[in-house]
Structure 1
């Protein structure tokens, strides 16, 4: 993840590395001049909101050659879309899709669940030093030159994750040398040198190192010693400081809640959190809109990159289909389908005869039913405006265990695809529900299943392991907030209400109470394989779509793209955030 390269002119020609176990792709540098200076590394939607017009991003179609992007972007006075804009969809008029179109066993009955909350361990078995050493293949970017720590190339300051890496390195070395003579510690050539860091960075490193030491004490159940560290950490961190101080604030808050829970103490803050907890469910809240979520979607690149890449992949797999049926496992506001409609409307060789969207609805039925019905009406109106034959269907079940194949209205002439954008991770804790979904999908046997998920390991049974994984992941996100968010008020809402809730749940809770769980692509691969699914390559145009989308964001230069096998990892300054993969059944 550390090897960030600035390429010149790029052409997307795959050169297979037969010696690589991960089948990484390499990028040759011959054509596509518009891709110049794009960074590469080889190693949660929308509807009614009075500010939704801010989502328009001036994306345009181009049909054959991505190099013609600038010439073929739709202008704001294009007759088809702007002559008589539909009153409810003015906000979607400019959200166009840079589309490139071209021609192109039996399940085991007994398997271990993806998550077994009954066997969650409260305390780690692996020492935190070893976990830190193994995290991200070490701390290569921070290797010193004669005792100095240098900033990464072309960066004026260290990223939040880099601060955490330095803190991790110092924590490893101080722990390893704690029994050594003090003179030997002071003479150590690397870990205890702050050369090259600003005063603020030195403070941040010390603060993060104290947080790691506190987590270690909590892992060893040394709660009184941890409390003393927390007092200092809480006095130096803040929800209104820089990204390091903010992320440390929320992790310290989570550690405090865990300590209080384990020792039977209930502080005022912990009691308030418990009162608020059941009332706030991020999985439910993110299915509808509010200004902070709109800002998240608008200002941060990850959701749009994943969405547009998934739609590009889906459209390529239904190129010759006249009747298309997409099963959406988590439709939310359905913005992705307005994008798909625009892409289908531009198809000349094979005009679409029918587009059918089936949305699966589960959870708080009364609330979600109204949201999905509103989404369906909007999509129908939008399809009518584009003159696309369209059907919208919903499958409403109180529990996903009741999901059955016969609930789906599938025509033999339809080409069926399954779309899953951040839909599966919320079911990790309910392994039986996840199994049910996949068995039904397997029976339907779609032509393709497109999956976008969070690329992080927040499902570990080890407390310290999970703490460290979460710390690095959220550090990258808070760093991104700092660089990308335009409104401090929305940023504070997202960090305190949504991300703070996730941090507290991952750090302070265990067993069935720990609902925030994510797993990496390797775990999904093993899970999907049980249902006869095989991963297929993302096309070069899908990869290009991801890069093109990143370039639309002012902060997009800090997005990094890695390949793990055939899966695209979308990251922030080298830290994986999301994954996009495409699957077919054997």
Structure 2
């Protein structure tokens, strides 16, 4: 076993090749075979224990999202991307009737008369303090959406005194981080765009911790590695292009399998894209050392750029290589470059396989759209961490503070085309299909890899896997959080 960032564990040997003759590989854990492949869209749930954890915040927010997604008969028309202000407003947030008054407040007319009845059970799981915090946070978002900054600032001052990121409830912790992001939004609106500096060491360290305490990162790595392994079947020269390589945690697992192929290891080249040259060079050294220990020929080329600013001239594409492009998307960066430029690069590369792992979170729309969507999304993640770790757990706080808080800030305080100047796709899967790429269904072996990851966490933690439409989705309870898919150029069909 190698010392340092990369280690090979026995579970890595379970990544299997998938050939065209429907060969049934051995080596999977017995529990994988319990799930019948006859219905690929079946929700895969842990069966050992009935999951009963009360996901207080995410359930409440799910009802809020449903309420906000249904049009109100008295909602005013849109002006310049935001709702037209009216003098007063009322809205039912999942059973909490909010009154908003003032000349510049948003006009929302309350509806869903039975919301309180529908959400009675969910609301009972939130104490009075949590409900008052969420209600005030929603009112503050409305004020920000119509540029009523003085009123928003007043509410933010109140929120910062009421909510702590160290609070015992998920609701209080989420509100604390959202209030911080919205305070940055208000300050940016007064002073202009403010882009916070990224502390790479802190972010990468927290990312590694997140990989250890939750299945999301492992899910992205193992399912993508399986799809890439299948695309590299019997190929002797391969080129992996990672659009956001960070520490390269997922690649030793793939290298280990490639190095032990019956036909021998391929010659592997890797291009790693990232914002820090120092981090890229260290990642390259670690991967090169690991490949050497495995007896595998390997080259690493760093590109210290935003992936949206990379053009084809920066990538050394060689004739005879099979190209794989990998992209694990997240919201850790305040600016990444326009999505259309990234799409153009992928088109020019003509890869055999594209492995894409997306957050099920929209980065488009008005501030209020992004606020509601991200509050629902991150409340679910906070609840998932709260289901498995106590409130004073240092690893949990490190992930919430260094990763999740930063993502929330980038979505609310920095995000939006008007602020970053970047056009974002609503769905990368839709755009890939529109640009002529063909989806490759995630194989049964990829599903097996995902299930193996899930088996590493007790059923009581509430994580779920869903396979359908050629994708794999990992979520918590009924909420999908990450979706993995694979694509290919039409020339390889």
TM-score by length of 1: 0.62
Residue 333 (structure 1) shift? 2.2
CA distance in structure 2 between the partners assigned to 1:279 and 1:427 by the alignment:
9
Residue 238 (structure 1) shift? 1.8
Q: Which has the larger radius of gyration?
A: 1
Residue pair 1:95, 1:339 contacting (<8 A) in 2 also:
no
State the match for 1:280 in structure 2. Answer: 198
State the match for 1:119 in structure 2. Answer: none
CA distance in structure 1 between the partners assigned to 2:6 and 2:401 by the alignment:
32
Cα 1:86–1:252 change in 2 (3 A) is closer
CA distance in structure 1 between the partners assigned to 2:340 and 2:286 by the alignment:
32
1:162 and 2:48 correspond: no
Q: 1:351 aligns with which of 255, 264, 278?
A: 264
State the match for 2:324 in structure 1. Answer: 417
**For structure 2, which runs of at least 5 residues remain unmatched after alignment?**
21-49, 68-91, 102-109
Cα 1:203–1:155 change in 2 (3 A) is farther
Residue pair 1:533, 1:583 contacting (<8 A) in 2 also:
yes
Q: 1:103 aligns with which of 12, 16, 19?
A: 19
Cα 1:321–1:214 change in 2 (3 A) is same
State the match for 1:47 in structure 2. Answer: none
**For structure 1, which runs of at least 5 residues remain unmatched after alignment?**
1-84, 105-152, 180-184
CA distance in structure 2 between the partners assigned to 1:507 and 1:331 by the alignment:
25
Residue pair 2:243, 2:274 contacting (<8 A) in 1 also:
no
State the match for 2:363 in structure 1. Answer: 458
TM-score by length of 2: 0.73
State the match for 1:393 in structure 2. Answer: 300
Aligned residues: 422
Residue 574 (structure 1) shift? 2.4
**Mapping for residues 395-544 of structure 1, pairs under 5 Å:** 395-396=302-303, 401=309, 403-405=311-313, 407-412=315-320, 414-422=321-329, 430-431=337-338, 434-460=339-365, 462-485=366-389, 488-509=393-414, 511=417, 513-514=419-420, 523-544=427-448
1:245 and 2:172 correspond: yes
Cα 1:176–1:583 change in 2 (3 A) is same
Residue 208 (structure 1) shift? 1.7
1:171 and 2:93 correspond: yes
**Alignment partner of 2:299: what SS?**
strand
Residue pair 2:133, 2:162 contacting (<8 A) in 1 also:
yes
CA distance in structure 2 between the partners assigned to 1:336 and 1:196 by the alignment:
38
Residue 173 (structure 1) shift? 5.9
CA distance in structure 2 between the partners assigned to 1:195 and 1:310 by the alignment:
39
CA distance in structure 1 between the partners assigned to 2:413 and 2:335 by the alignment:
18
Residue pair 1:164, 1:208 contacting (<8 A) in 2 also:
no
**Alignment partner of 1:583: what SS?**
strand
1:363 and 2:275 correspond: yes
Residue pair 2:255, 2:291 contacting (<8 A) in 1 also:
yes
Residue pair 1:295, 1:490 contacting (<8 A) in 2 also:
yes
RMSD over equivalenced CA pairs, Å: 3.8
CA distance in structure 1 between the partners assigned to 2:146 and 2:181 by the alignment:
16
Cα 1:507–1:515 change in 2 (3 A) is farther
Residue 399 (structure 1) shift? 6.9
State the match for 1:373 in structure 2. Answer: 281
Residue 452 (structure 1) shift? 1.6
Cα 1:103–1:201 change in 2 (3 A) is same
